[in-house]
Structure 1
């Protein structure tokens, strides 16, 4: 990155990698000391001092290495704090330039199929730094390239644009699992054209925007199949490519999808931060439909965080923006931002906030407005409607709705959708004597095993 936060110390990342607070790390270090008979009095304050520049002594470094499962040879080979474990995400440190974007796309594509444990989700301090750089960086917008490679034709770029549109629509129907290979192949093509082709400045902007769209889809599809760390790497690459293209609204769209990932894995405050940054970025350049999308995403994050008042305010903002109508300059990717989508998200918020009856009403209203092409959306919200029914004590109705969701899930490859049904079935252990519950749970086991 071009800038590091004052407390963006490698020890902060190491703790995040292991899910440890400062207090928990101090306890782990003291425990390591007891095992090897080294007496230390490490506290939360001690860890904080290290993260603000103080260097622990040699004996304590040995215990820190034990706490983080770092072997002694590795520890001795590098000075403090460079041997600490951290996120293996080189794209975070590339400059915000056109060349940096191409390098990030290359690295993410080469390692995109790996989802190793050390690829943690970037959050907290590191995410704040990434968002700040995205908001404030002034990269050289895609410029004309005169490589020795073949001239990039406008017809090639047009064909890629058509395929992006097709992939977006197909994802609505089939889920990401069946399309990720094709999306990655098209992203690879866009990257090769950018890296080795010869093109005008306008063509370069279009190619970077297409790379952003495709990387965003790759991120969404890998998230949809449960590969969270890989998904975030694609989202990071997409934000860079959007920035290089000069399309701030496209970058906001990427941030909106990345926010879904964050609140889905338990980081609602990080999701809210992403949306607020996107809202700041598009201010003065946006359209009502884009503002509606961002407000709705923010509402979901706030509901997950349990902030009901702020959530309802964001939902009202989304409806107000949508009520302003569509514009001729609305981005093509915003085709899905409709009243039914806002209603669906409202139902999900109400469910998270403990209002299942109202949530069910919203799900029913919204689902009726969706066409047959939105199979995954239909399955996802049927499962949520079933959860709303179950929370109200309508056990048989919940099982019936859950069965309907299962019928659709057999047509999809979407871990995100199946997780909701699996969780619902797991929550029904208190009603195992109910025949409908037994049938539903047996059906879930069969479908999930297939």
Structure 2
């Protein structure tokens, strides 16, 4: 992959921070506040895919006015206030205008029909707030996405929502007239990562993985095209690396372990090339998780320890907590109970320090439910079924309903632990709950777990409820 050419250029006028919005967030982390925004949206039957990065952009003043969906949610969260009270500019003052005033317009240049304009900073919300469910924006791309979400299945949804780049994915790179890329492409790349994660949270990986390959190819083509600003280059490298990790996770969760390993390695190489310790820690984190699932526990321990070395300067206790859990999973795979217990204690201690401003945006999934779920997996690997079931039950109970896939995952873990712990009736009930969720969730990992549970329950097929679970499970399509 070629390195981006970075030269100096005139910087645009910096945005004015939205201090009013920052005060409303209070002591909550950006990820926690984003979760509160999503909960408020569900209360009024609105759908927004808010995350920590979106909150950060609002507070930095990069989004001067939200779209209509977010406006309704914010006004619901803070009744009696106007958009101006929340620190936003009136819609009439920003609609249809770029961040530059007329005297700051860039010199004329030729643009490629395949690319959007490079170095324009958006002030009216586009990428990070143009939610695919928003029915009030009239942009052509939003209309296409809206129809896909209204009428299509998961695969159609993925096809529409993974293409915000404004680039024709199918055209060979040699056929494109390349120019220096800028903030529009960087924002589109970050949006692709966000939408993949959102769809995975709701639907699982199986229907998404193949659709995500084209945006990933495009991401690295953007790096080869180069940019005129170091800050934009940094965003492109980080975005490409995070996209490689997201696509790797889709491969991981759908049972394509070798593909996942390749994508994680690509993300790690990108992190090393750009000197990005946060991306390096994330890549090693996922590598450790994959190694554990692939039956390479010693590699899992070493990768988790490497992730912790990269993450220490970042100052995020929650990130270090997650990485300690990854290490614990490796020790459990080595049947090293003392090593596992020590890592679990460290993970719990770090978690209790609470969220911080330095928590990476991709960690919005990591809350108390995930902590319980990962600990359940450790005890299950060690064969302590009773303790594993207790933690899995807590995980399923604590999980935010937004993370449908995780609810199915924790419940599948619970069913398996109960079955192996000699409680077939309860295991069958949990298994039936997972089957109810499989209409929304497509995850080979979860289906593999259920298949294992079914095998354990076969000797108990005459027990109350077990036969119903086994019959429904037998009707599932075979995993290919």
TM-score normalised by the chain length of structure 1:
0.64
Of 273, 276, 279, 1:244 maps to 273
- Quote the residue 1:219 is aligned against: 248
Of 189, 195, 206, 1:166 maps to 195
Q: Is the 8 A contact 1:340 1:370 kept in 2?
A: yes
The CA deviation at 1:366 is 2.1
Of 432, 435, 443, 2:461 maps to 432
C-alpha deviations, 1:99-137, integer Å up to 9, x for none?
xxxxxxxxxxxxxxxxxxxxxxxxxxxxxxxxxxxxxxx
Pairing 1:321–2:365 present: no
Of 379, 385, 389, 2:408 maps to 379
Number of paired residues? 304
What is the alpha-carbon distance in structure 1 between the residues aligned to residue 425 and residue 311 of structure 2? 47
The CA deviation at 1:433 is 3.4
What is the alpha-carbon distance in structure 2 between the residues aligned to residue 199 and residue 326 of structure 1? 35
What is the alpha-carbon distance in structure 1 between the residues aligned to residue 276 and residue 407 of structure 2? 31
What is the alpha-carbon distance in structure 1 between the residues aligned to residue 417 and residue 222 of structure 2? 48
C-alpha deviations, 1:23-48, integer Å up to 9, x for none?
xxxxxxxxxxxxxxxxxxxxxxxxxx
- Quote the residue 2:322 is aligned against: 293
* SS class of match (2:477): helix
What is the alpha-carbon distance in structure 2 between the residues aligned to residue 365 and residue 382 of structure 1? 10
What is the alpha-carbon distance in structure 2 between the residues aligned to residue 163 and residue 148 of structure 1? 22
- Quote the residue 1:87 is aligned against: none
Pairing 1:338–2:338 present: no
The CA deviation at 1:238 is 0.8
Q: Is the 8 A contact 1:204 1:245 kept in 2?
A: no
* SS class of match (1:242): helix
Q: Is the 8 A contact 2:419 2:456 kept in 1?
A: no
The CA deviation at 1:280 is 2.1
C-alpha deviations, 1:246-284, integer Å up to 9, x for none?
221221111111211111121111111111122223333
- Quote the residue 2:436 is aligned against: 407
Q: Is the 8 A contact 1:298 1:314 kept in 2?
A: yes
What is the alpha-carbon distance in structure 2 between the residues aligned to residue 388 and residue 289 of structure 1? 27
What is the alpha-carbon distance in structure 2 between the residues aligned to residue 413 and residue 364 of structure 1? 21
The CA deviation at 1:173 is 1.1
* SS class of match (2:313): coil
Pairing 1:235–2:264 present: yes
What is the alpha-carbon distance in structure 1 between the residues aligned to residue 315 and residue 218 of structure 2? 30
C-alpha deviations, 1:210-251, integer Å up to 9, x for none?
111111111110111111111111111011112223221221
Pairing 1:185–2:214 present: yes
What is the alpha-carbon distance in structure 1 between the residues aligned to residue 264 and residue 258 of structure 2? 10
C-alpha deviations, 1:338-365, integer Å up to 9, x for none?
1221111111212222222222221222
Unaligned runs of 5+ in 1: 1-146
* SS class of match (2:442): coil
Q: Is the 8 A contact 1:292 1:321 kept in 2?
A: yes
What's the Cα RMSD here? 1.9
Q: Is the 8 A contact 1:205 1:244 kept in 2?
A: no
- Quote the residue 1:348 is aligned against: 377
Aligned pairs for 1:4-403 (under 5 A) are 149-403=178-432
What is the alpha-carbon distance in structure 1 between the residues aligned to residue 453 and residue 445 of structure 2? 13
Q: Is the 8 A contact 1:360 1:388 kept in 2?
A: yes
Does the C-alpha gap of structure 1 residues 447 and 260 become closer, same or farther in structure 2, counting only changes over 3 Å? Answer: same
Q: Is the 8 A contact 1:385 1:401 kept in 2?
A: yes
The CA deviation at 1:369 is 1.5
* SS class of match (1:178): coil
The CA deviation at 1:435 is 5.5
Higher helix share: 1
- Quote the residue 1:419 is aligned against: 448
* SS class of match (1:210): helix
